[in-house]
């Protein structure tokens, strides 16, 4: 049994979640708490058994969000030909 306040985690092996789900969770944690991605990686590796053997740089590279263009931009006339200024 762990002491109260212990920072050691027992890694879990989620049955229905894939690594991509865990990466997304890690990104959410970093984004919500305003922490750099490299600070979230060790925690993810200690909390989730499937990530324990992966390289830190690989996990860090997977912690991203898709950027969406909300409206056509004149800088992309080849994509949106009718938007030239």
Which alpha helices (H) appear in 9-54, and where do they start and end?
Answer: 19-33, 37-47
Contact 52, 43 (CB under 8 A): no
User: What's the pLDDT band for 1 if we cut at 50, 70, 90?
Assistant: very low
Q: What confidence score (pLDDT) does residue 64 get?
A: 81
Interaxial angle between packed helices 19-33 and 37-47, expressed in degrees from 0 to 180 and rounded to the nearest 10 = 130
- The region of weakest confidence among 1-5, 30-34, 37-41, 47-51 is 1-5
pLDDT digits (tens, 9 = 90+) for 39-80: 999 999 999 999 999 999 999 999 986 665 565 555 555 555
Entry pTM:
0.67
């Amino acid at each position: 049994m762990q002491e109260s306040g212990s920072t050691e985690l027992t890694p879990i092996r989620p049955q229905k979640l894939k690594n991509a789900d865990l990466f997304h969770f890690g990104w959410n944690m970093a984004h919500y708490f305003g922490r750099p991605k490299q600070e979230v990686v060790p925690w993810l590796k200690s909390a989730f058994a499937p990530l324990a053997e992966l390289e830190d740089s690989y996990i860090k590279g997977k912690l991203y969000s898709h950027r969406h263009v909300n409206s056509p931009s004149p800088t992309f006339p080849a994509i949106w030909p009718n938007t030239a200024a």
